[in-house]
Amino acid sequence: MNLASPLLTGFVASAATNLDDLVLLVAFFLHPATRFPKVVLGTLAGSAALAAGGVVLGRAALALSPLAVGALGLVPLWLGAHKLWKRRRARREGRELTAHEAPGVWAICGLTIAAGGDNLGVYAPLLSVRGLELAILVGVLVTGPILWCALARATAHHPTLRPYALRYGRDAVPYVYIVLGLAVIGDGVREYLA
């Protein structure tokens, strides 16, 4: 077996299915209390869950209901609404949100799964293979997002981009979550109705 083929296929699939996550990852790194290992761990856990789901679906040759995939959008929608509520409550009480309110590993994992729910449509047929090819593909799909984490961190800390990202990014984070949630829900409903 040619090892280059599953490596290249896995890399292309990872890049294509995770490109939209870059904005979300940059938003994580704008928070002063966010640490790289926490984001990587949450992203790896979410990516592993998506890859496992792809393997299960590939093995069963079933397609997850588009409405079930759309329901994953409730996670970022709730997180965004919760962040807005906490921010408004803090402002009403005359205090600022503290740095310890950065997203946790499980929140990052949940957002990774919600943002990548549509990845299952790509992963299921891709992961219907066996043996070493399956192991290589799963390995690339799970670890590939680490590159996105590094790129997002570099973008969030870039000397030219950081002031703009800080000025507008933190206020935008809850809205990014809400839009992401609505987009995932909308995609699921649209697929279901098609």
Q: What is the pLDDT of residues 123-174, one digit of tens each?
A: 877 777 788 988 998 999 899 889 989 999 998 889 998 887 777 766 777 8
- Close Cβ partners of 32 (under 8 Å, ≥ 6 residues apart): 99, 102
39, 30 contact by CB (below 8 A): no
SS3 21: helix
Tell if the pTM clears 0.85, that is, is over it: no
The angle, 0 to 180 degrees and rounded to 10, between the axes of the packed helices 105-115 and 74-92 is 130
The pLDDT, as a whole number, for residue 154 is 93
Average pLDDT over residues 37-45: 93
| Residue of 17, 35, 15, 8 whose CA lies nearest to 117 | 17
Position 46 scores a pLDDT of: 93
pLDDT of res. 96: 61
Which pLDDT score, from 0 to 100, does residue 19 have?
72
DSSP code of residue 99: G
* pLDDT for residue 58 is more than 50: yes
- What are the C-alpha distances in Å from 11 to residues 87, 93, 111, 154, 176? 38, 48, 21, 20, 26
Of 34 and 68, which is predicted with more confidence?
A: 34
pLDDT digits 0-9 by tens, 59-114: 765 456 777 767 767 877 887 888 788 888 878 887 665 544 678 899 889 888 88
